[in-house]
């Protein structure tokens, strides 16, 4: 992680604005008028030239059906604002305050779109982070492309950033299903399965997972003997699960998020199914366990980023120190366990922050957005929460399957499950 306090330079800054405005969103602003710089022993104290503040728009499902994801994302944005309160100094030595404006999308595209337009036109945002779920993120893509503003989604579907030629302004920080599905399939194969069932929620995220599992199963030589879908709002999946029981499947792979994922898991147990239940990373939050019930969630396996395995990582792993610090900072700031979804928000905002460091003063808003987009796309070796980001003109995610581990739910807790324990 790039340190916010640069070596040899410490900025003493006053937090001049803190406001929570829930009628139109939540805004937190930080920034001074003229800042003194305490330089190294070889220099004397001088003043810093002050540039215009940078506004970052942030859209998350703080309320609604996806609030279990959006709430930790919002918390991460507030944590980032606290960390950004010293602002950013460009390559020309000009200081800029950073203001993050947070809006609640309720997880709905039709709510998110006008909020995004307000951030773009009224608030003059230099970049937008947001989209808790894949459907709302996809709804926002054409808005961002038309406005020509850097947009970093926190959702998973590969369609958000692909094809890259049509997603010039769009990036995302959540691992793609193509990164996690191979782990689901490999685990099923390691447990002796040659035939699998592929269940998925009927939306962009689920379809993306379905396709990724198809591809991974083909690569590993496993046969998909059943595919079934369900709606994100469904409360009864017994029909699909009854088909699973009647099939030749030896393991069940699922792509969904709560509440549907939790309901499916509960009914899976109630029907007495004992096949390995292998979810995707959409259940990587503790509320899933609560919603499904500790007994029902017992033994569920799923792939996710290394956050859950942080303390078990080798000291040579570049993510270990970053993950442990994020966990400590987040838990101190919120009083709650760190969430991988909070990590998606933190990674996105850090990518924007690092890009802002490359912008000289005096650019027009259009030039700021264009140069920031280029800086994000050129990111290499950024050690984040979701993995190590290496972006390019061909890859607007920058992660790989090497950033994933397998987790098993044991007695209501996540348990890191290394391959040798499969």
The domains of the chain, with CATH numbers, are 10-176+318-403 (3.40.50.2300), 179-309+404-421 (3.40.50.2300)
Give the model's confidence band at 325: pLDDT under 50 very low, under 70 low, under 90 confident, else very high. Answer: very high
* 209 close to 230: Cβ distance less than 8 angstroms: no
Give yes or no for a contact between 151 and 171, defined as CB atoms under 8 angstroms apart.
yes
pLDDT for residue 310 is more than 70: yes
What's the whole-number mean pLDDT along residues 232-242?
97
d(CA 395, CA 403): 15
Q: What is the pLDDT of residue 36?
A: 31
pLDDT range class, residue 65, cuts 50, 70, 90: confident
pTM for the model: 0.81
**18 pLDDT more than 50:** no
Query: Is the confidence at residue 79, as pLDDT, over 90?
Result: yes
409 and 265 Cβ atoms separated by less than 8 Å: no
385 contact partners, CB below 8 Å, separation of at least 6 = 305, 307, 322, 323, 326, 340, 342, 343, 344, 346, 347
pLDDT of residue 285: 81
Rounded CA gap, 374 and 368, in Å?
A: 10
- Nearest residue to 256 via CA among 186, 199, 330, 317: 199
CA distance 411 to 66: 25
CB-based burial of residue 221 (10 Å sphere; 0-12 exposed, 13-18 middle, 19+ buried)? Answer: exposed
**End-to-end Cα spacing for the chain:** 32
For the cut 50, the answer to whether the pLDDT of residue 214 exceeds it is: yes
Q: What is the DSSP track for 67-126?
A: HHHHHHHHHHHHHHHHHTTT-EE-TTS-EE-EEEEEEE-TT-HHHHHHHHHHHHHTS--S
More confident position, 221 or 38: 221
> Can you give the pLDDT at residue 2?
43
Q: What is the pLDDT of residue 286?
A: 84
Structure tokens at 239: 């029909």
Mean pLDDT of 49-65: 96
H helices within 191-337, ranges in order?
204-220, 238-246, 260-270, 286-292, 294-297, 318-334
Q: Grade residue 47 by pLDDT with cuts at 50, 70 and 90.
A: low
Mean pLDDT of the chain: 89
Report DSSP state, residue 169. Answer: T
Q: Which helix (H) or strand (E) holds 415?
A: strand 413-416
pLDDT in tens, 92-149: 999 999 999 999 999 999 999 999 999 999 999 999 999 999 999 999 999 999 999 9
Mean pLDDT, rounded, for 197-226 = 96
**DSSP assignment of 262-278:** HHHHHHHHHTT--S-EE
How confident is the model over 336-354, as pLDDT tens digits? 989 899 999 999 999 999 9
**Residue 22: pLDDT above 60?**
no
């Amino acid at each position: 992680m790039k340190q916010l306090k640069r070596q040899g330079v410490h900025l003493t800054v006053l937090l001049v604005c803190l406001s929570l405005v829930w009628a139109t969103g939540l805004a937190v602003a930080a920034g001074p008028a003229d800042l003194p710089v305490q330089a190294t022993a070889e220099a004397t104290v001088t003043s810093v030239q002050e540039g215009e503040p940078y506004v970052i728009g942030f859209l998350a499902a703080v309320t609604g059906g996806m609030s279990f994801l959006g709430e930790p994302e919002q918390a991460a944005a507030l944590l980032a604002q606290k960390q950004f309160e010293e602002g950013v100094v460009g390559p020309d030595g000009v200081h800029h305050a950073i203001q993050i404006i947070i809006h609640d999308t309720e997880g709905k595209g039709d709510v998110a779109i006008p909020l995004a337009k307000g951030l773009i036109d009224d608030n003059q945002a230099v970049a937008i982070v947001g989209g808790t779920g894949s459907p709302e993120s996809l709804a926002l893509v054409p808005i961002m492309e038309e406005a020509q503003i850097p947009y970093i989604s926190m959702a998973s579907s590969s369609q958000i950033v692909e094809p890259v030629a049509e997603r010039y302004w769009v990036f995302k920080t959540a691992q793609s299903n193509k990164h996690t599905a191979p782990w689901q399939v490999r685990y099923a194969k390691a447990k002796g399965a040659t035939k699998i069932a592929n269940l998925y929620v009927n939306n962009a995220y689920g379809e993306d997972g379905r396709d990724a599992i198809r591809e991974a199963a083909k690569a590993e030589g496993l046969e998909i003997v059943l595919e079934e879908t369900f709606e994100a709002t469904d409360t009864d999946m017994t029909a699909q699960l009854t088909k699973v029981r009647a099939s030749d499947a030896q393991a069940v792979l699922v792509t969904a998020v709560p509440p549907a994922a939790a309901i499916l898991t509960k009914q899976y147990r109630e029907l007495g199914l004992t096949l390995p239940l292998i979810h995707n990373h959409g259940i990587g939050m503790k509320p899933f366990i609560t919603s499904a019930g500790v007994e029902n969630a017992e033994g569920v396996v799923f792939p996710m980023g290394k956050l859950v395995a942080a303390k078990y990582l080798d000291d040579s792993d570049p993510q270990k120190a970053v993950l442990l610090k994020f966990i400590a900072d987040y838990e101190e700031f919120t009083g709650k366990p760190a969430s991988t979804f909070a990590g998606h928000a933190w990674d996105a905002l850090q990518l924007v922050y690092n890009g802002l460091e490359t912008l000289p003063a005096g650019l027009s808003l259009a030039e700021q957005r264009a140069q920031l987009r280029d800086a994000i796309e050129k990111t290499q070796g950024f050690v984040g929460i979701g993995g190590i980001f290496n972006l390019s003109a061909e890859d607007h995610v920058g992660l790989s399957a090497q950033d994933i581990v397998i987790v098993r739910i044991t007695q209501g807790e996540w348990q890191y499950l290394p391959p040798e324990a499969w």
